[in-house]
Amino acid sequence: MNTGLKILSEEQLEHFAREGYLIVKDLFTSDDLTSIEQTFEEISHTKVPGYFEPDLEGATDDPLKRYPRVMHPHRFNETAKRYMLHKPVMDVLADLYGEEAYAAQSMFYYKPPGSRGQALHQDNFYLQVEPGNCIAAWTAVDAANEENGGLLVVPKTSDYALVCPELADSNESFTTHFVKPPKEEKAIPAIMDKGDVLFFNGNLIHGSYRNKTKDQFRRAFICHYANSSATHISTHYRPLFREDGTAVDLEANPDGGPCGIEFDMAYPH
């Protein structure tokens, strides 16, 4: 739990408040990153019904069939849960929220060569944290850039209202939703080194590029959090967890949904 000492500088806090996102370095050691890599390498050769269901034969033109994202690995893997509650990350979140953070979701993206990106979207459309907002902590397990499918962010959209998404281009995005940025703002690449953590507000419009490389994965460990003063969250993200691992159960927000519906699993809303 945060001791009351600020981890972030005033300049960093101001950047997050103004731009809606912040990249922080050195929150994970090389041993931490190796542990995460080894854990998800092992998971990649298995099936976990409801959480990770790859085509282990790889008999498809879509690399995401062999390497889909792992949903909620903290629910079946202790290493994933430990790093979802990683103290350096939780301390930064406490600074950004001005109060304790609760962990709501974990994910791991393999993003193999040739795979589609994810269309621009807003996370709190799905998590529905109220009052307050979700914050993502997006950890680059591999360096992320425009070539290998790194993240795109639209600065200054953290105060932009949640909007009803349009249908995304299935040739470029593996999820169906697309949120059009306001005319005055443009999406920019979030260039990240291995081990960097990108924090961003749940209303910030963001997405990712297609992985255009032939031989580079763009792995990422991504977790979402809620402020401890929140009372409601979408039922898909319950229970939440305090830093010490104890469960917290907020009221279910009936307006939520899964974090992006994949095209071959799409259902009407």
d(CA 219, CA 198): 14
Residue 33 half-sphere exposure toward CB, CA atoms < 13 A: 18
Q: What is the structure's pLDDT at 268?
A: 31
Are 205 and 181 in contact by the 8 Å Cβ rule? The answer is yes
Q: Which domains does the chain have, with CATH numbers?
A: 10-265 (2.60.120.620)
The token duo for 228 is 């401890």
Q: What is the structure's pLDDT at 90?
A: 98
Task: Report which of 140, 124, 120, 103 is spatially closest to residue 217, judged by C-alpha positions.
Answer: 140
Sign (positive or negative) of CA dihedral 62, 63, 66, 69 = negative
CA angle 95, 141, 167 (to 5 degrees): 85
Are 216 and 142 in contact by the 8 Å Cβ rule? The answer is yes
Residue 187 half-sphere exposure toward CB, CA atoms < 13 A: 19
Against a cut of 0.75, is the pTM above it? yes
Kindly state the DSSP code that residue 121 receives in the 8-state scheme.
Answer: E
Q: What is the structure's pLDDT at 5?
A: 67
Backbone angles phi, psi at 102, to 5 degrees: -110, 135
DSSP string, 181-230: PPTT---EEE-B-TT-EEEEETTS-EEE-----SS----EEEEEEEETT-
How many residues in total does the chain contain? 269
Q: What is the structure's pLDDT at 158?
A: 96
d(CA 261, CA 165): 12
Q: What is the structure's pLDDT at 242?
A: 98
Residue 261 half-sphere exposure toward CB, CA atoms < 13 A: 16
Residues (pLDDT < 70) of the chain are 1-5, 59, 255-269
Are 157 and 20 in contact by the 8 Å Cβ rule? The answer is yes
